[in-house]
Amino acid sequence: MNSKRYTITAALPYANGPLHIGHIAGAYLPADIYVRYLKSKGHDVAFICGSDEHGAAITLRAKKEGKTPQQIVDENHTIIEKAFADFGIDFSIYHRTSSKIHHETAAAFFTDLHQKGAFTQETSNQFYDEEQQQFLADRYIIGTCPKCGFDGAYGDQCEKCGSTLSPADLINPTSAISGNTPVLKETTHWYLPMNRHEKWLTEWLDKGTLDGKPHHNPKQWKKNVIGQCKSWIDNGLQPRSITRDLDWGVKVPVKGGEGKVLYVWFDAPIGYISATKQWAANNNKNWEDYWKNPETELVHFIGKDNIVFHAIIFPIILKLHGEFNLPTNVPANEFLNLEGNKISTSRNWAVWLHEYLADFPNKQDELRYVLTSIAPETKDSEFTWKDYQARVNNELVAILGNFVNRTVVLTHKYFEGKVPELNSISVEAQNVLEQIGTITKNVENLITQFKFRDAQTEAMTLARLGNKYLADTEPWKLIKTDEEKVKTILHIALQICGGLATIFTPFLPKTATKLAQFLNISLDEKLVAGHQINQPELLFQKIEDEEIETQIKKLSTREHAPLLQTPLKKIKPMKEEITFDDFTKMDIRIGTILTAEKHPDADKLLKLTVDTGIDTRTIVSGIAQHYNPEEIIGKQVSVLVNLAPRKIRGIESKGMILMAENTEGNLAFVSPEKVIDNGGEVR
RNA sequence: GGCGAGGUAGCUCAGUUGGUUAGAGCGCCGGAUUCAUAACCCGGAGGUCGAGAGUUCAAAUCUCUCUCUCGCUACCA
């Protein structure tokens, strides 16, 4: 087998919170399995990961907790790094983007591309806090989420419903620093004109060719990855801002970049490169071998939320630079749900890795097995504690653990723990020995195709084969009549155990090591007759009902309030004082909704006709997610009738229905407490 | 609304370029067995393959319409 060189990356976790099982199942565990397999085959692998430590979410949190951003990321980096180490994800290096070497690398990358004319500069209006005299990063703007109505949504994302937002989307934006209403002010940023790269990207994704030369086999890429990238390209790629007005991050290293830093899309993926540099320096290697030698395979393991960054944006950056390899595959997984709901950091609906490790000490492989069994490789999948228990008890304990145990126990019982001779080999026995090789081959093929779930299932069939072989040959009966045959049987059963140790190494590294210890061999050593094996312990313990119930209870009784943040201001501050005249400019009347129907081109809008007493008019209102059209017909509501008409999604809306909103973002009509004639004034 | 990915046995999932009675593991039921963590082994039941229509000698597999889930994206008080 010829040895190749691989650079394997796993998505950089954001250093703003701990890891949960969704992260593990989606990216880190498949990557780890792949890497352990490659290493076992003698390949040269750099397995790269690290904390993504920049961004406004961290500065904001630092400000709130009265710490420096560095303190925040130091804390989280330590927690995450430890959880990975305890769980047994075997990174070559777990690095961090706040390091000096990363800042230098990212800045140099920017400078290089800037000199090549790869960027454009654009001036736009951004929110600016006049009191603090600074531009507000998306995260620094808090307002009402337009999707779910949550009152503490950030300018880039709503932590409640998870929607991706832009600051202009927010209703009633306020500055997270001062609480003031921000103003729009001009600022200039660097953009990556992705539209320039559509042509070669399309060819690269469709045919797997780069500059006309074969690069990778697109058939091995997952459908969801190709599909989403094509979708983006078909809709036309847009120039994308790669700098931000913020003081925490990699400083923009060119003229005019004062007070600006590189944005995450640009900064974080380069973290893979800087981490590799650090690792190479520590281990006396040449990092360029892992990024610039075209023989080296580059594979990014990520979740589906990261697809376009790794399969479009980062490749553009790498190709612009000109010396770097592009990924030969980007195996993105879908999402893992938990007990019927989406995993949510902010709602604390998650199984945290560090908590699992504390609650289930030395059960890393049990979690690895279950998460691989249900890995969301082709669609979202679901983790339940009952399923965890069933898989551990019925598969790991009953099939794998039990086979190893019965084989080793029988060997001790009949042959004092010495591997017996392989005597005459029957056809069946020969068949079984061949199966060990066949199954091993199958598992390897599946791993190289990134089908880890299938690969693990196939590995399990070797243990099934072992159990069946023992049941078929019944050595416990035969021992009374034909000891020579029993020797052969147990020899073969022990060979299966040896095969299991090898085959499960990438999936269950601790178990494989333990099994090798029972057999008293190293993992690449063959068992020979006469070899003394050790007394076994149990490979796996059953998971009792109480343990599972405890976990389920823990999930359901835990505080589901946001874990990481509470909005700074639940109740918005009073607006500036106005005069009575200002108030009387608004003409608010009581009207009755006559008809209501869904807006044909929008999910959240209803098209209403309202009798205002003055007239009957059309009003478009964004309440479709709160009310069904049928239920509101005939309802009396308050209407701002003298608001300038405006076209909303193609339909002219004349006036506005007044809505009251609670802190959860639920809307309610402001209706008169008893029936009032239409046209009645509100004052 | 647009785009992408999905909807196959109770659960987690396979089903290659359309081809005989639709598969696997686990669960369930029955049998056999006792070396083993009441485990293993054998057998069985369970699916109008999201719905409908079409193409075809033949469709889970191709086309169209609809529907539900997830993601991206648009609109919005």
Render pLDDT for A11-51 as a digit per residue (tens, 0 to 9).
Answer: 999 888 889 999 999 899 999 999 999 999 999 999 999 99
> Three-state DSSP class for A389?
helix
| Higher-pLDDT residue of A330, A186 | A330
| pLDDT value, residue A148 | 56
- Give residue A526's pLDDT band: very low, low, confident or very high (50, 70, 90): confident
| Higher-pLDDT residue of A642, A573 | A642
Which residues of A spanning 341-360 put their CB closer than 7 angstroms to strand B?
342
pLDDT in tens, A323-368: 999 999 999 888 888 888 888 877 788 899 999 999 999 999 999 9
- Which residue approaches B24 most closely, CA to C1'? A457
CA atoms within 13 A on the CB side of A410: 25
Distance from CA(A165) to C1'(B73), angstroms, rounded: 11
Nucleotides of B under 7 A from a protein CB: 1-7, 11-14, 24-27, 33-37, 39-42, 69-77
User: What HEC string does A40-74 produce?
Assistant: HCCCEEEEEEEEECCCHHHHHHHHHHCCCHHHHHH
For range A390-405, the mean pLDDT = 94
Out of A161-170, A335-344, A608-617, which region has the weakest mean confidence (pLDDT)? Answer: A161-170
| Higher-pLDDT residue of A205, A130 | A205
* Position A564 pLDDT exceeds 50: no
pLDDT in tens, A222-280: 888 888 888 888 778 888 888 888 888 999 999 988 888 998 888 999 999 999 999 99
Integer angstrom CA distances of residue A384 from A334, A341, A342, A350, A377: 17, 10, 12, 11, 17
pLDDT in tens, A90-114: 999 999 999 999 999 999 999 999 9
What is the Cα–Cα distance from A480 to A476, expressed in whole angstroms? 8
| pLDDT value, residue A570 | 42
Distance from CA(A600) to C1'(B1), angstroms, rounded: 8
**Closest to A326 (Cα-Cα) out of A305, A310, A304, A306:** A310
| pLDDT value, residue A1 | 55
* Position A566 pLDDT exceeds 50: no
Please give the structure tokens belonging to residue A193.
Answer: 């004109």
**Closest to A321 (Cα-Cα) out of A52, A119, A120, A122:** A119
* Position A603 pLDDT exceeds 80: no
Q: Tell me which H or E stretch contains A193.
A: strand A183-193
* Position A160 pLDDT exceeds 90: no
Please give the structure tokens belonging to residue A159.
Answer: 């932590």
* Position A562 pLDDT exceeds 70: no
What is the Cα–Cα distance from A330 to A299, expressed in whole angstroms? 6
> Three-state DSSP class for A373?
helix
The answer to whether the CB of A377 falls within 8 A of the CB of A42 is no
| pLDDT value, residue A400 | 96
- Which residue approaches B32 most closely, CA to C1'? A471
pLDDT in tens, A431-479: 899 999 999 998 998 898 898 998 999 999 999 999 999 999 999 999 9
- Give residue A119's pLDDT band: very low, low, confident or very high (50, 70, 90): very high
For range A584-610, the mean pLDDT = 79
Question: DSSP code of A522?
Answer: -
> Three-state DSSP class for A506?
coil
| Higher-pLDDT residue of A658, A541 | A541
The answer for residues whose C-beta is within 8 angstroms of residue A128's C-beta and 6 or more apart is A134, A135, A136, A182, A183, A184, A185, A187
| pLDDT value, residue A578 | 75
The answer to whether the CB of A498 falls within 8 A of the CB of A519 is yes
pTM for the complete prediction? 0.81
Nucleotide nearest to A475 (CA to C1'): B35
Backbone φ and ψ of A397, nearest 5°: -70, -55
Asked if A29 CB < 7 A from strand B, the reply is: no
Nucleotide nearest to A461 (CA to C1'): B25
- Give residue A676's pLDDT band: very low, low, confident or very high (50, 70, 90): confident
Asked if A242 CB < 7 A from strand B, the reply is: no
Amino acid code (one letter) for A553 = K
Burial label for A581, CB within 10 Å (0-12, 13-18, 19+), is exposed
Give the strand pairing for A332-333 and A297-303: parallel
Average pLDDT, chain A: 86
For range A636-645, the mean pLDDT = 83
Q: Which residue has the tokens 């994800």?
A: A89
Distance from CA(A319) to C1'(B3), angstroms, rounded: 27
- Which residue approaches B33 most closely, CA to C1'? A471
| pLDDT value, residue A219 | 80
- The sign one gets for the Cα dihedral A455, A460, A461, A466 is positive
| Higher-pLDDT residue of A532, A17 | A532
For chain A, percent of residues with pLDDT exceeding 70: 90
| pLDDT value, residue A151 | 66
| pLDDT value, residue A627 | 73
- In this predicted complex, what is the ipTM? 0.87
Which residues of A spanning 269-308 put their CB closer than 7 angstroms to strand B?
304-305
Nucleotide nearest to A375 (CA to C1'): B12
The answer to whether the CB of A22 falls within 8 A of the CB of A162 is no
Please give the structure tokens belonging to residue A268.
Answer: 């974080």
Asked if A542 CB < 7 A from strand B, the reply is: yes
| pLDDT value, residue A624 | 72
DSSP string, A391-403: HIIIIIIIIIIHH
> Three-state DSSP class for A405?
helix
| Higher-pLDDT residue of A200, A557 | A200
- Range among A87-96, A201-210, A437-446, A562-571 with highest mean pLDDT value: A87-96
| Higher-pLDDT residue of A561, A96 | A96
What is the Cα–Cα distance from A172 to A666, expressed in whole angstroms? 16
What is the Cα–Cα distance from A123 to A126, expressed in whole angstroms? 9
- Give residue A600's pLDDT band: very low, low, confident or very high (50, 70, 90): low
| pLDDT value, residue A295 | 94
What is the Cα–Cα distance from A327 to A215, expressed in whole angstroms? 9
| Higher-pLDDT residue of A280, A663 | A280
| Higher-pLDDT residue of A127, A27 | A27
Please give the structure tokens belonging to residue A363.
Answer: 């059960």
* Position A410 pLDDT exceeds 50: yes
Q: Which residue has the tokens 């980096």?
A: A77
What is the Cα–Cα distance from A12 to A48, expressed in whole angstroms? 9
> Three-state DSSP class for A341?
strand
pLDDT in tens, A231-247: 888 778 888 888 888 88
Please give the structure tokens belonging to residue A367.
Answer: 């979690």
For range A533-559, the mean pLDDT = 88
